[in-house]
Amino acid sequence: MNLTYHSRNKLMQTFAHWSVPKDFAEPFYNYLVFGYTPGSCFTSVLANDFVSAISRSHPSNTINAFKALVGWMRDTMPVEAYGSYEKVAKWTELNPEQRRIILEQTGLVFTSKEEIVKILKDEPSVEPHLY
């Protein structure tokens, strides 16, 4: 899926709102937009498998970072993209157009038409600061 920086910044701003660390946000962005599997720990988080998530977590990951991530997930993520290993597998199998429709419907990215208008109007877009 091709997104302009306007849509990328819109989606990344949702992570900043919850203070999700950048090293957590990037794999989730790639999962939502491109359907890439975010690694064993984050796949377990997406599947609501806390035991596997923690056992597969890097030692430098903090509970506060996981709390921020889970808050972001419950507040922001499309319900089609998390909740079980089956949902995670289905999300990764969607084609780019299917993922984009869901992301547009949930307000995480702009529609293609909205992106074109923003580009033609030369509207500024600021990349959010993630920690």
Range of the domain at 15: 5-120
Confidence at residue 1, expressed as pLDDT on a 0 to 100 scale: 87
pLDDT of residue 81: 98
* Number of domains, the chain: 1
Residue 63 belongs to a domain? yes
Buried b (16+ CB within 10 A) or exposed e, 107-125: ebbbeeeebeebeeeeeeb
Task: Please indicate, yes or no, if residue 127 is contained in any of the structural domains.
Answer: no
Q: Does residue 14 surpass a pLDDT of 90?
A: yes
Q: Is 89 domain-assigned? A: yes
**Residue 30 is assigned to a structural domain of this protein:** yes
The pLDDT, as a whole number, for residue 129 is 85
Rg of the Cα atoms in the chain: 15
In a domain, 128, yes or no: no
Supply the pTM of this predicted model. Answer: 0.93
Q: Pull the structure tokens for residue 112.
A: 């293609």
- Does residue 129 lie within any of the structural domains? no
Sign of CA dihedral 11, 17, 20, 22: positive
User: Which residues are CB-contacts of 1 (< 8 A; sequence separation ≥ 6)?
Assistant: 33, 34, 96, 97, 99, 100
